Chains A and B, each alone.
Chain A
Amino acid sequence: MSSAPWWSSEELWRKTAFLVTALMFVILIFLTFDTLEQISAGSDRVPDYSVINKRISYNFDADRNFQVPVIGDAEPLFGKALSDEEAEALVTHGKKVIQGRNCMNCHTLLGNGAYFAPDLTKSWLDTSWGSAAAREDLMLMFLMDPETNARTFGTGRKMPDLGITEEEGRAVIAFLKWMAAIDTNGFPYNFKPIPQGGES
């Protein structure tokens, strides 16, 4: 009986498994450092929280061949400009409300979550709010009383009353506005944003 060929050696594959795993993990660590720098708040890809004081548009970029967020002139949320610290605190509160109300088990955020309700990534820019001028108030009204203000689009699916207070609702809207300004590499695809005054 001939001996097993070298390439089927248990020892060879044991070492290979170890080396490959170590190599891939080291590469991942390097990429993680680079990525975290590129997606920190205030970077080109992920805006600072004070972006909620500005107009956010979503325009086609011919070079990248997909839509990208564009930060425009002053357009404070609920008409009140916030300092950097105030803006971060408000967006933070909004994120915690979204986590505490378990939004992710009906909705998706950045496309991740459940599929029972629409994606929230660009909800700030969605045409369903009718007009950009009325959007903030409509969003707040909906969040505080989703049953009465439900728009089920014929599906019969209604968001339950989650007991969201006015303060919490404003925070959630701040978070959604900030999230809409994240550069998501063109996701969701072919999105048609709400018309905002002065835009073509």
Chain B
Amino acid sequence: MKPGLSEISNLSGGQQLALKYFLVAGVLFGAQLLFGLLAGIQYLHPEFLYGILDFSTNRMVHINAMVVWMLFGFIGCAYWLIEDESGIPVVGLRLGNLIFWVFTAAVAVVVVVYLFVQIGPGTDTTIWFINEGREYIEAPRWADIGIVVCVLVFFFNIAATALKGRTTGITGVLILDLIALAGLYLAGMVYFTNISIDQYWWWWVIHLWVEATWEVLVGCIMAWGLMTTLGARRKIVQTWLYIEVALMFGSGILGLGHHYFWIGTPEYWFSIGGFFSALEPIPLVAMVVHAIYDSGTHRFTNSNHPALGWLIAHAFGNFFGAGVWGFMHTLPQINLFTHGTQWTSSHGHLAFFGAYATINIAFFYLAAQKLRGNVWMAGGLAGNGWRWKGSLALLNIGVVGMTMALLISGYEQSFVERAIEGSGWAGYFAAQNHPWFIQGMVWRMVFGWITLAGYLLMVWDLLTIGVGDSRAAIQPGGGGGAVLEEPGSAPATA
């Protein structure tokens, strides 16, 4: 290893593959922000790009880029940690590399079709080749099949490596979770005219990914991340992981019922969905306790300050975004007024960022550290680490600000459109024209630009952090006392 030099040879085969996934994830993160901004502008200036890139197209690219960059990030995280966990190189790495290029090319083709073809006639050909027209899983059917094939190869890489090498609690949970994650996607690949049945299965993909299998996946990633950055003991993190799985699947699987209040499904979902989804924040509290407990036990002594910072941001973001913001409108008595309003987008922004963007960014920093020869990334970074701290602050302020602004618009919408006006189109537009709603949209744009600034600063930081630094990373758990050291002082060694 050559400290301070960005050389791909500093990384193992699995890590090199992970880095490729991280790079695409980072680019798609930028695309998510760009198209989110375009869609946000159209709320305030509807004539902007009208007839060229309509709101529907911008919003579709915004949410699809988000889903795919997070998925690419998770895949990268799994490739990153699997060799360390199993103690052997990735099994079938060449196939994994091939599939990376296939997957990336497929995503590029889907995006090009989204942008330049956009829509098609009401035929099966459109569903297969242009746009399936179902929120979050708009990708045409050919791409669905491609995604399943790519995920199966990814699963083979991870499972074969874990089973051939050392199988740990983390990789055991990871393997079972990936089976569920890949299997659930199939539920979204069938056409139904009956929209109640359509949305019933659609939620199996969306909810059981986002509020169940993705949460467990990041639980695995978090467990390994805490061991890596802090040197937390395996027995502790794995016990926590099992507790979180029990609580997460114990609440989240039937918590699916909170999406079955208003789509034609029976009334018993009121009780089941309301009760179990109200429990969903509990595992997220456990994750916060877990992260803070481990950090405190190790006196925040860690090998990678930006990564640990983002892991802590993940713990709190997950709890507030997915937990608190979800709980606020999950009971049917409240959801009757909030369903289909900006409440949902407020929750969505904080939850996706807090639960998933954060932990991927943490791994971007772990990758940057290794790429530069496992350099020092504790206290005493150049410029006191202002770029990573600044980007962490800007991104979090930006997303929290958007969340609050959208929440205000959502409150107003629930009140004016639903409670007062009676939920018709006239009520909808009365709410959209209300100054409180518009103020929310203005502030959402302000914080959207702040989020973009945070992203750009993060990219700059990731491209430069550790470059030229000749100090080696501290060994986590080695008692280096990194946070207590003065900038520029000699690194602690294990």
- By the criterion CB–CB under 8 Å, are B426 and A155 in contact? no
Stretch at the interface among B9-17, B150-158, B334-342, B369-377: B334-342
> What is the size, in residues, of chain A's interface with B at 8 Å between Cβ atoms?
83
- By the criterion CB–CB under 8 Å, are A102 and B250 in contact? no
Chain B 246-257 near chain A by CB (<8 Å), digits 1 or 0: 100110011010
Would you call B197 an interface residue if the criterion is a C-beta within 8 Å of the partner chain's C-beta atoms? yes
- By the criterion CB–CB under 8 Å, are A110 and B196 in contact? yes
A100 vs B195: C-alpha distance when bound (angstroms): 15
* Chain A residues in 8 Å Cβ range of B121: 97, 100, 168
* Chain A residues in 8 Å Cβ range of B194: 39-41, 46
A174 vs B238: C-alpha distance when bound (angstroms): 54
Task: Describe B's contact surface by its main secondary structure.
Answer: helix
- By the criterion CB–CB under 8 Å, are B266 and A102 in contact? no
- By the criterion CB–CB under 8 Å, are A112 and B127 in contact? no
* Chain B residues in 8 Å Cβ range of A118: 425, 428-429
* Chain A residues in 8 Å Cβ range of B169: 10, 14
Chain A 1-30 near chain B by CB (<8 Å), digits 1 or 0: 000000011100110110011001101100
Greatest chain A CB density within 10 A among B124, B262, B419 is at B262
Would you call A35 an interface residue if the criterion is a C-beta within 8 Å of the partner chain's C-beta atoms? yes
- By the criterion CB–CB under 8 Å, are B249 and A24 in contact? yes
* Chain B residues in 8 Å Cβ range of A14: 169, 242
Question: How far, in Å, is B52 (CB) from chain A's closest CB?
Answer: 9
Question: Which one of B127, B259, B269, B340 lies within 8 Å of A100 (CB-CB)?
Answer: B127
- By the criterion CB–CB under 8 Å, are B57 and A189 in contact? no
A28 vs B184: C-alpha distance when bound (angstroms): 13
Would you call A183 an interface residue if the criterion is a C-beta within 8 Å of the partner chain's C-beta atoms? yes
Stretch at the interface among A71-79, A85-93, A132-140: A85-93
Closest residue on chain B to residue A188 by CB atoms: B423
- By the criterion CB–CB under 8 Å, are B426 and A10 in contact? no
Would you call A141 an interface residue if the criterion is a C-beta within 8 Å of the partner chain's C-beta atoms? no
- Cβ < 8 Å to A, chain B residues 119-142: 119-124, 126-127, 130-135, 138
With contact pairs A100-B119, A106-B56, A156-B47 given, residues A35 and B132 touching in the complex (Cβ less than 8 Å)? no
- Cβ < 8 Å to B, chain A residues 116-153: 116, 118-119, 122-123, 126-128, 152-153
Question: How far, in Å, is B449 (CB) from chain A's closest CB?
Answer: 20
A13 vs B133: C-alpha distance when bound (angstroms): 41
* Chain A residues in 8 Å Cβ range of B455: none
Would you call A52 an interface residue if the criterion is a C-beta within 8 Å of the partner chain's C-beta atoms? no
> What is the size, in residues, of chain B's interface with A at 8 Å between Cβ atoms?
87
A189 vs B335: C-alpha distance when bound (angstroms): 10
* Chain A residues in 8 Å Cβ range of B173: 17
A122 vs B130: C-alpha distance when bound (angstroms): 28
* Chain B residues in 8 Å Cβ range of A113: 135, 340
A100 vs B256: C-alpha distance when bound (angstroms): 27
Closest residue on chain A to residue B269 by CB atoms: A35
- By the criterion CB–CB under 8 Å, are B195 and A179 in contact? yes
- By the criterion CB–CB under 8 Å, are A189 and B418 in contact? yes
* Chain A residues in 8 Å Cβ range of B356: none
- By the criterion CB–CB under 8 Å, are A126 and B424 in contact? yes
A115 vs B256: C-alpha distance when bound (angstroms): 22
- By the criterion CB–CB under 8 Å, are A100 and B120 in contact? yes
A28 vs B259: C-alpha distance when bound (angstroms): 14
Chain B 167-208 near chain A by CB (<8 Å), digits 1 or 0: 001000100000000000000000101111111101000000
Question: How far, in Å, is B462 (CB) from chain A's closest CB?
Answer: 31
A106 vs B432: C-alpha distance when bound (angstroms): 14
Would you call A34 an interface residue if the criterion is a C-beta within 8 Å of the partner chain's C-beta atoms? yes
With contact pairs A112-B263, A156-B47 given, residues A188 and B133 touching in the complex (Cβ less than 8 Å)? no
Would you call B310 an interface residue if the criterion is a C-beta within 8 Å of the partner chain's C-beta atoms? no
A192 vs B424: C-alpha distance when bound (angstroms): 7
**CB-defined A-B contacts under 8 Å, sample of 10:** A46-B264, A93-B122, A100-B130, A116-B43, A127-B425, A153-B433, A163-B119, A184-B263, A187-B336, A191-B422
